[in-house]
Amino acid sequence: MAHKIRVGALISGGGSNLQAIIDASKSNRIDARVVFVGSDNPEAYGLKRAQKHAIPTFVVDYRTIIEETRGRPPKNLLPEDFDLEVCLRRTRQRLSDASSDRVKAERYFCIRAIAEAALLREMAAYPFDLLVLAGFMRILTPYFIDRVNTDPSQLRIMNIHPSLLPSFPGADGYGDTYRYGCKVGGCTVHFVDYGEDTGPIVGQKAFEITPDDTIDTVREKGLKLEWQLYPECIQLFAENRLQVVFKTYTLENGTDVKRKLVQIAG
């Protein structure tokens, strides 16, 4: 067996993707081992799944942090290395009402930085090669991303999303796919960037949506594919086969677009 990469995982809920990754690593189907599982939600069932396998866990309770910092977040809670201007400059999130409102945007990023600094403090105990978001339902800001991707040419945060991106980013990929009347659904693993579900795509799997399908069967079909896709993408990372490249394309109207893409070697 080749050298195993160390994978950290962040979850918010049931953790069926986490389970698929743990199973793949325990059965040596991937050259990886899960070194910690963190959650923003103390009730996440995925924490129990990790504990069953003696994987260290921690919780940074976002809800409590958000409640306790209602109003203006106390300056003394902000991490010393937090720079609001850098966050505002780098983010590509659609902050809905916050984007046009400086006070709201400031509040949003300050509270996230307090929570993310707590995540980073917990994670510091467990060195890792790759961080996987496995149903982690919080958007990460540039403050956190820059402290994990310390070498900007080496992306090392992956996310799994329940749609064929770039269609249907956001909180309910399968629901949005189904309600749109799509005849094909799917799931995507991508590297995390400063946007919302916009990072370079690592892998995708698709399934057919038939007239008999309901929202529940669409979710079932999708999740089954997620459990295959995530371990496969982690294995590509472990084999060092994921190369981030820049490509420039000229559109029909003559403008050039530059894209950051993942190329799979070998």
Cα distance between residue 35 and residue 32, in whole Å: 9
CB atoms within 10 A of CB 13: 17
Position among 49, 112, 161, 190 found at the interface with ligand GAR (CB under 6 A): 161
Cβ pair 45, 39 in contact under 8 A:
no
Cα distance between residue 195 and residue 140, in whole Å: 9
| Six-digit token string for 112 | 């996230």
Q: Does 231 bind ligand GAR (CB under 6 A)?
A: no
Position among 8, 73, 142, 162 found at the interface with ligand GAR (CB under 6 A): 162
Position among 8, 9, 15, 203 found at the interface with ligand GAR (CB under 6 A): 15
Cα distance between residue 257 and residue 246, in whole Å: 10
Q: Does 175 bind ligand GAR (CB under 6 A)?
A: no
Confirm whether 161 is a catalytic residue: yes
Position among 4, 16, 122, 260 found at the interface with ligand GAR (CB under 6 A): 16
Give residues 116-135 in contact with ligand GAR (rule: CB under 6 A): 134-135
**Catalytic member of 3, 53, 161, 190:** 161
Cβ pair 166, 178 in contact under 8 A:
no
For ligand GAR, which is the closer residue by CB, 47 or 73? 47
Q: Does 14 bind ligand GAR (CB under 6 A)?
A: yes
| Least spacing, CB of residue 196 vs ligand GAR, in Å | 9
Cα distance between residue 92 and residue 35, in whole Å: 30
Side chain identity at residue 213, one-letter code: D
Position among 4, 13, 120, 204 found at the interface with ligand GAR (CB under 6 A): 13
For ligand GAR, which is the closer residue by CB, 31 or 172? 172
Burial 111-148 (b: 16+ CB within 10 A, else e): bbbbbbbbbbebbeebebbbbbbbbbebbbbbbbbbbb
Q: Per-residue DSSP letters for 19-84?
A: HHHHHHHHTTSSSEEEEEEEES-TT-HHHHHHHHTT--EEE--HHHHHHHT-SSPPGGGS-TT--H
For ligand GAR, which is the closer residue by CB, 133 or 236? 133
For ligand GAR, which is the closer residue by CB, 52 or 72? 52
| Least spacing, CB of residue 60 vs ligand GAR, in Å | 17
| Least spacing, CB of residue 13 vs ligand GAR, in Å | 4
Instruction: List residues with catalytic annotation.
Output: 161
Where does this chain bind ligand GAR (CB under 6 A)?
Answer: 11, 13-17, 46, 134-135, 137, 160-162, 173, 223, 226
